[in-house]
Each structure stands twice: as structure tokens, then as C-alpha cells.
A and B are shown apart, each in its own frame.
Chain A
Amino acid sequence: MRVRIRAGDTDAFGDLFDEHADAVHRHAVWSEGDPALAEDVVSLTFLEAWRIRESLYPDGGSLRPWLLGIATNVLRNRRRAARRHREALRRLPVRDTVPDFADEVVARMHDADQVTAAMAALRALRRADREVFLLCVWSQLDYAAAAEALGIPVGTVRSRLSRARTRLRALAQQELGRTRTIPVEQGEYR
């Protein structure tokens, strides 16, 4: 597979898309909290993958870490990626405006709220820590794969993840404490 990807085999890229597009999409929604932007990130990730295909190592396992690493880079600097592929993005088909069924819309709104709430917690993290958290915990890459995706040593992945978790725990406790101690009289925190 890696050899075919490196050689620019479009069928191989088709398979790559089929296998990983949803994972890239989820990762983008988690990072962005916006499904419309996430779609652009999916396209940009695969366009970038195509562009840099020859830099892919010929040996190795699943290509998911590689793709999620590219997605992370795209998310870090979306404007730059969008400029690089602006011609291609212009040709991107418009989203359908066919209305969703009502219950599906409700389900989506609920999902969006959930993403927003989780993102609010994640926003309190440093970007580097958040990236590691998203890759390791939500996208379920192991430490070595996350290290590959981000191009950093495994030790750094561990320490960032540990920092992210400590911070999230502290936030969760703060949140818990706040709801318990907020008196009925508004504005008085104890």
C-alpha cells in the first residue's frame, strides 16, 4: 500500500480515502467543532497527502497516523493549506442544501452541543497537549503512532498526554466544586 501511495497510484488513494476519511473527519470535527469546516479539512488532508506522497516512508504499518498527522498540520494552519490548494478548493462541489429529516437535525444539534461542551474543556489545554490528547484518547492512536503523526519523540507524547490529563482532571474538579458551592443567591462563590 505504501509503495502504491508513494507511486501516486490513484486507486490506492481511493482505498485510502475509503478507509480513513471518517477518522480524519471525526478528528477534524473534534478539533474544530464545525462540521462544514471539517469537510474542508478532510479534502485538504487528502490533497496534502497526495502532494507529499513521495515523502512517505516505504515501510510501516497503518497509514492512519500519517493522515492524522497531516490533518493536525492542516488544522494548525488551515489558512495556509487552503491557500496552497485554493484552485482545488474552488472546484469542490457545493454542499447539498437538501433539508435533513427533522429528527436527524435534532440529533445533530445534540451532537454539536456535546462536541461544543467537550471542546470547551479541551480549549483550556495548550495546543500541543490538546493535539496529543485528541490523537491518543479520542482517535485512539497508540503512543508510537501519535509520535509518528506529530513527528515528536514517544517520551514527549507521554509527558504531553499526562499534562493534558492532569489539567483536565483539575478542570473537572473545579467544575464539580463550582456547581456544589454556588449558593442560590447569585454571584456569591464560596
Chain B
Amino acid sequence: MSEPTAPHVPALPAVRRQALRHHLMNEFERPARRPQRMLVLAPAAGVLAAAVAAGVIAQLWAPDSAPLIVTVEQGEHSGATLFLNQMAAAAVNKPEPPSGEGEYVYIKSRGAFAELGDGPARLQPVREREIWIPRYERGDGLLRQPSFDLPIIGVIPERETLTDMTPNAEVVDLPSDPDELLAKLYRERDERGRGNSRDGAAFTAIGDILRESLVPPQTSAALYRATAKIPGVEVVRGVTDAAGRRGVAVAHTEGNRRDEWIFDEQTYEYLGERSYLVADTADGPAGTVLGTTAVLQRAVVSKVGQRPER
């Protein structure tokens, strides 16, 4: 025989096939967590200068050349509980987000992604991202970001309609009791039965909600109190977001990687995210930044594609 004939391959069992199909369909209807590759935050030039001045950058970052490396600070656990409970207490006194006016939640952010896989992680340039999420009714949203070309994937369009998005109201429809909230997140993780540790999965789930949605004060408070109950959550001080704003980070370490949500120390406003390696790995030495973001604006607008007044 001059060439091997195609070997017979056992078909996917029907049940498994259905399970994969069902999973895909759910993923397609999961806009809040859509193409969010890990947000890699590459500071813009001015930001970088500020960060260097602040002494947080051990090695200069330049596009396509070197990774961005930060100092891995010691986190503290007791401080985290205190900080999160202070945030929860303050959140309750904040005004409700505007009701009525506006059918879309608008969020503008900036971030940079590290491309992982071949040698040390390198940050790609900072990109701005604007997303319109239906506020009350399931429906189409919109994502705008600069068009860019990914090596294997091809061109990512500048405007991308996000179909059948879960509305903001549904994303933030959560128990107001922190224990119930956490139990719900653990339960959802157990049903999936794989991936992150339970605590890591709960931390990620809360991070997903905080990142791109408009959270009512009571729900924010519940989310912060629930986070305080997740074992291993720490607070890390003197952290900079992708817009160069300094804040306090609430952090969780899973394996070799630490994920942080950064908040303003006075106002407790959510500033952005950062994630980096805490140990030397094939993706780079400890401190290699895998992602950095900054939320620049959250608003309510009446039409998809419309930007707020200011």
C-alpha cells in the first residue's frame, strides 16, 4: 500500500455530541464573557512613564520586544477582609444607577493582552474597547475596538455586533445575602466540575460581573462581602491600572498566576484589572504581566452605538 488509508474513527457518542452542542449554544449566548481573552494591559506611553517613576516597572516595556515585569508584592489576607467590608459599607450609601432613561449600558475601557504560548509572554499594544450591553431586555449589543490582525485567527473587525446578549439586569440579578451568593457561585462551579479550584472559580465569576456591567449598590455590597469570604483572597497595595491610576488591589492567586481587581483607595471605585505570574514559568519570570486593563467610563445611553455626552 503506498499510503495509509483513513483509519476508522469511532464517532462521538450521541450523548456526548449533544453535550458539546449544548455547551456551545450556551457559550454563544454568553456575551458578558465573550471574546475576553485575558485582558492584557499595556500602559500607554505617558502611563508607562508614570509607572516607571513610581518604580513599579523593573524592565521597560516596548511593543514586540520585552515583556512587562512588575514587582510581586506580598499580599495580606486580614487586610482584604477589612477592605472589602469597608467597600461594602460605602457601596450601600452610593446612589442607584439612573433608572428609566437609556436602554443600553455603555462601558469604555482600555487594555492590553499578552500573547501566550511561545516563550515569554509579551504584551500587545494597548487597545481601547467600547461595549454596549442591553440593559433590561435580551438582545443585540455592540463591541467596538480597533481592527487588528491576529496571527492565526485573522482580522478582528472594528465593529462587532454581539447577538442575543444577556441583559445587564440579568447579570446583576443576584442574591443580596453574601453567603447565598457565594453558595450559588460554588454550586455553578461544581456543576461544571472542572477547571479552576472552587475558590478561583468564584473569584473569577465575581470579577466577570464587576468588569463590564452596571451593578446596583446593594448588589455591589453583596459581591464585596462574598469576595471577603473566599479563602485566599488578599489585598495588595500600590497597584497601577492601565490608565496609570494607583489603587488597592483585591487579589487571588491560582497556580502561578495572580489576578487583581484594582479599586481607588478613597472612593472604592473599580479602576481595572491586572494579572501576572507569581513564579518563574515557561511564560516568563515571576512578575511577568499577562494582562492589564482600566475602565474609563460607565454610563447609560439610549441607543446602541451611541456614546454618552461626556
Contacts and interface: CB of A to CB of B under 8 A. Distances in A.
Given A54-B160, A79-B116, A91 B27 contact: yes
B121 to A, nearest CB: 10
Nearest to B24: A46
Contact of A115 (B9, B17, B160, B193): B9
Contact of B3 (A18, A83, A95, A172): A172
A17 B5 CA distance: 26
B117 interface: yes
A148 interface: no
A83 B163 contact: no
Contact of B16 (A30, A39, A89): A39
B240 to A, nearest CB: 24
A114 interface: yes
B12 A25 contact: yes
Contacts of A79: 116-117
A117 B29 CA distance: 41
A77 B163 contact: no
Given A50-B28, A55-B157, A77 B20 contact: no
Contacts of A122: 4
Contacts of A165: 2-3
Interface stretch (B33-41, B78-86, B98-106, B301-309): B33-41
A94 B193 contact: yes
B310 interface: no
B12 A22 contact: yes
Nearest to B282: A79
B194 interface: yes
Interface string A76-98: 11011001101111111111100
Contacts of A47: 24, 27
A73 B1 CA distance: 30
Contacts of B26: 91
Interface in A52-107: 52, 54-55, 73, 76-77, 79-80, 83-84, 86-96, 107
Contact of B154 (A9, A50, A52): A52
Interface string B1-27: 111111111111101110111111111
Given A10-B28, A137-B6, A172-B2, A21 B164 contact: no
A121 interface: yes
Interface in B19-61: 19-30, 33, 35-38
Contacts of B72: none
A26 interface: yes
Interface string A150-190: 00000000000000010011001000000000000000000
B156 interface: yes
Contacts of B7: 30, 111, 114-115, 117-118
A73 B152 contact: yes
A12 to B, nearest CB: 10
Interface string A2-25: 000001111001100110011001
Interface of B: 1-13, 15-17, 19-30, 33, 35-38, 115-117, 152-157, 160-164, 192-196, 201, 204, 208
17 contacts: A9-B163, A13-B28, A25-B9, A51-B153, A55-B155, A55-B157, A80-B152, A90-B201, A92-B194, A93-B19, A93-B22, A93-B193, A94-B192, A96-B16, A114-B8, A165-B2, A172-B2
Given A30-B7, A133-B3, A137-B6, 9 more contacts: A13-B24, A17-B24, A21-B12, A22-B11, A22-B12, A30-B9, A39-B16, A89-B195, A92-B192
